[in-house]
Structure 1
Amino acid sequence: MNQASARFALVLSALLAGTAAHAETAAPKPAPPPVTPYVDLRYRLELVDQDGLAEQAAASTLRVKAGIKTAEWHGFSALVEGEAIVVLGETSYNDTVNGKTAYPVVADPSDVLLNQAWLRWRPTAEFEITAGRQAVNLDNQRWIGSVGWRQNDQTLDAARVTVKPDKGASIDYLHAWRVNRVFGPDSPQGIWRDTDIHGVRAAYTIKHIGTLSAYGYWLDVPSSPASSSRTLGVRIAGELPVAGKSSILYAAEYARQHDHGNNPRSFALDYWLIEPGFKAGPVTLKAGYERLEGNGTVGLQTPLATLHAFNGWADKFLTTPVGGLRDFYLDAGYKVPGKGPLAGLVLRGVWHDFGSTVGSTAYGREWNALASYPVGKHVVLTAKLAHYDADAFGTDTTKLWLQIEAKF
């Protein structure tokens, strides 16, 4: 073999080796299974001591949520999910339907129901439409959320269209004709039928800045006329990296709410949120001021929100008082880093000071504390405490939760 032939053979061998290596690297990933089953088990003990009620509540409940989700086929996919809530032991609490009014309310009635059932069509990455019973969570869930803390989710029978016209941009439209609330179908307020709910949200995410969103929600609820409203608002939330592993956190929001549909009252009320924060490694610190305006006759309402996440875990302000609600709060969190035995442990403490927006009525104060610890990849243990100290609204209330959740 002459020198030119030898060089050609070496080059050819290198090309063939490179092609083989590329073929191995670029080999397609295995296709997902056509149907994926899943199960979520959550046991919770909730204890409530509330002044003014003769009994203390003890709710021992197990939620079993199970479903199947299909892989996409020509852009189509589907999900079906069932849910069962079982009371273990005596029902020593007011579940809103059992008539035990001497006990505090724990809104986890026993039930077996269809939690979600939807069909999705996504012909391209820029467009999808989902129709059927579905959990919907928008922004921080202040206006629309699935109330994941309660044993029974809040879901919507709805059609939702999402368009992503550009990188970082999205537009959502939602129409819901039924609301399946956490109280379950046996409660008179457990299902809002024949609703005419429309929502539009446009958002744009800017790298290292945050997400700017504008929204409008039109709620016409014949089953609860006082919950009918029209709300238009804007929100920005983001995280700005600074030195090292530190970053500045911020969220700000403004909305204006008017009466709408069959609401018997006429009003125009403001919503404000300002929430600066700071994150340094495993430590997160936030301060916040949230204002839901009232005029002495009616208060701004957010009936489709994940309400437990706002204004204290004791749930004293699920309905905004007619004098409005002013909530000043401090929030501190710590997550144990590394790979040691306590890695992943989350500790959090929150303090609230509540008052009115009409006049200067002091409603009360609240302390919240949480510890959450992952056991392996599938199990999480949680302990949670809330204590509300009343001044001029509600009564002193202490709540304790002990929970274990396993997802497979």
Structure 2
Amino acid sequence: MLSASALASAATPVLAQEVMFKPIIDARLRYEMVEQDGPLPLQESRDADAVTMRMRAGGELSKGPFAFLAEAEGTLALDEDYNSGVNGKTLYPIVPDPENVEVNRVQLQYRTKPLIVTLGRQRINLDDQRFVGSVAWRQNEQTFDALRIEYMGVKDLKVDVTYAISARTIWGIDGGKFGSVNRPTQIDGDNVFANVAYKTKLGTVTGFAYLVDEDVAVPALLRNSSQTYGARFAGAVPLTGKVKLSYLASYARQSDRAKNPVDYSADYVAAELGLDVAAFKLTAGYELLGSDRDAAGAAGGFAFQTPFATLHKFNGWADKFLTTPATGLQDYYAGVAYSLPKVGKAGPLVASFTFHRFSSDRQSIHYGDEYDAQLTLKIDTHLSALVKYADYDRQGIASFAGDADTRKFWAQIDYAL
């Protein structure tokens, strides 16, 4: 005769094999305004006003270690007085949130404690997303058709390797229309993203290799084919009960690969310090995307590029440096943030301000300065709100394509189930 505890133990594996369903709902309503100086009076007078609504919906079925996920994504422009990048409204400043309906993710996954294998169209965010990310700030997400293997079978060690045959871009189903050949719906290729990370008491050491081979007939995109090898170290240590020091250092070397018509090599350097003092956080950092002045096949040189990154997170929210200028980029920045845990029944409330000074890697060009400010509020478990502002002030003459005084404002509501 079985005891009650034995019956419970025997039932556990059966219960673990039940089919589970997890719904996915992720909605966002956003207003974005862009004021940007331009070469024509007409362009100077036409500010962009974009009101867009994005919805992602789907679900995940799982049984034991196996899971199948499917998710659709749709973006609607409620006010399309802006250049989406693919709608042909080129007299307006660009707001890269085109209308779109697509399959955002569809993947089969096997997951256990030491091993996760994901096959299909999927979201990939590696480290701080400086080289590979989902571009979550834009309404249409960047996803990859890929096979990803994550192995955690050795204590404190993680091996993460992805082979991707296609990147589904933020430009959506109208990518490539109205002459925007540099903004396709998808970019096919043979891409390998490899990370090996080891945790220590002081932080995580990561070695990485990103091999990009863009199989397209567009010269501007072929120039993104590259091989990047590097390492990063990131961690934090408590100094006192209410004071914590965080730090990051990274270096990488990039050169051309596959069909890239430019023969070049360039360096990447990043360093950042953060100090948490009670509710305040102070941050200061430096980032270099170097330039090769002797790059063969590129007049004026060629610089370090990160085409699959979540670029909005880096080098200012005005998005002036999504493509690194040929003379390279140095970004000196400092910021302060304040967090209030509760505002009535809501919270946390986080306010932040960041200053950037942008200059070139060579030729001693001061591109400009930027001021960024943001206020976020977590309203409840599912709902959050944001207001955000960026002001880029160009110095001297325009030094690269799109180098113009630019002011941007956002107001946004997010709902996630």
Does residue 324 in structure 1 map to residue 328 in structure 2? yes
Deviation at 1:78, TM superposition (A): 1.4
Partner of 1:113: 102
Partner of 1:79: 69
Partner of 2:266: 269
Q: Secondary structure of 1:230's match?
A: strand
Deviation at 1:253, TM superposition (A): 0.1
The gaps in structure 1 that reach 5 residues or longer are 1-18
Mark the CA change 1:227 to 1:128 in structure 2 (over 3 Å): closer, same or farther: same
Q: 1:388 aligns with which of 392, 395, 406?
A: 392
Q: What is the TM-score when the length of structure 1 is the normalising length?
A: 0.90
- Tell me, yes or no, if the aligned pair for 1:336 and 1:342 is still in contact at 8 Å: no
Q: Secondary structure of 1:71's match?
A: strand
How many residues align? The count is 386
| Separation (CA, whole Å) in 1 of partners of 2:342 and 2:20 | 37
| Separation (CA, whole Å) in 2 of partners of 1:120 and 1:33 | 14
| Separation (CA, whole Å) in 1 of partners of 2:341 and 2:384 | 16
| Separation (CA, whole Å) in 1 of partners of 2:363 and 2:187 | 37
Q: 1:165 aligns with which of 153, 173, 179?
A: 153
| Separation (CA, whole Å) in 2 of partners of 1:33 and 1:386 | 47
Deviation at 1:295, TM superposition (A): 2.5
Deviation at 1:342, TM superposition (A): 6.0
Q: 2:117 aligns with which of 129, 140, 143?
A: 129
Partner of 2:34: 48
Amino acid at match of 1:258: S
| Separation (CA, whole Å) in 2 of partners of 1:205 and 1:134 | 26
The 5 A counterparts of 1:311-350 are 311-338=315-342, 340=344, 343-350=347-354
Deviation at 1:340, TM superposition (A): 4.1
Does residue 65 in structure 1 map to residue 59 in structure 2? no
Amino acid at match of 1:63: R
The 5 A counterparts of 1:8-407 are 34-52=20-38, 53-54=43-44, 55-73=46-64, 75-89=65-79, 91-122=80-111, 124-188=112-176, 189-207=183-201, 209-223=202-216, 224-296=221-293, 297-338=301-342, 340=344, 343-391=347-395, 392=397, 393=399, 394-407=403-416
Deviations 1:262-316 (A, max 9, x none): 1111111000001011112221111000000012410100000000000000000
Aligned Cα root-mean-square deviation (Å) = 2.2
Amino acid at match of 2:61: T
| Separation (CA, whole Å) in 1 of partners of 2:346 and 2:384 | 13
Q: What is the TM-score when the length of structure 2 is the normalising length?
A: 0.88
- Tell me, yes or no, if the aligned pair for 1:87 and 1:110 is still in contact at 8 Å: yes
| Separation (CA, whole Å) in 1 of partners of 2:210 and 2:105 | 22
Amino acid at match of 1:275: E
Amino acid at match of 1:210: G
Give the percent of matched residue pairs that are identical in Structure 1 and Structure 2: 39
| Separation (CA, whole Å) in 2 of partners of 1:197 and 1:261 | 11
The structure number with the bigger radius of gyration is 1
The gaps in structure 2 that reach 5 residues or longer are 177-182, 294-300
Amino acid at match of 1:158: A
| Separation (CA, whole Å) in 2 of partners of 1:321 and 1:376 | 42
Q: Secondary structure of 2:223's match?
A: helix
| Separation (CA, whole Å) in 2 of partners of 1:305 and 1:193 | 14
Deviation at 1:185, TM superposition (A): 2.7
| Separation (CA, whole Å) in 2 of partners of 1:293 and 1:357 | 6
Partner of 1:10: none
- Tell me, yes or no, if the aligned pair for 1:220 and 1:262 is still in contact at 8 Å: yes
| Separation (CA, whole Å) in 2 of partners of 1:244 and 1:193 | 49
| Separation (CA, whole Å) in 2 of partners of 1:377 and 1:194 | 38
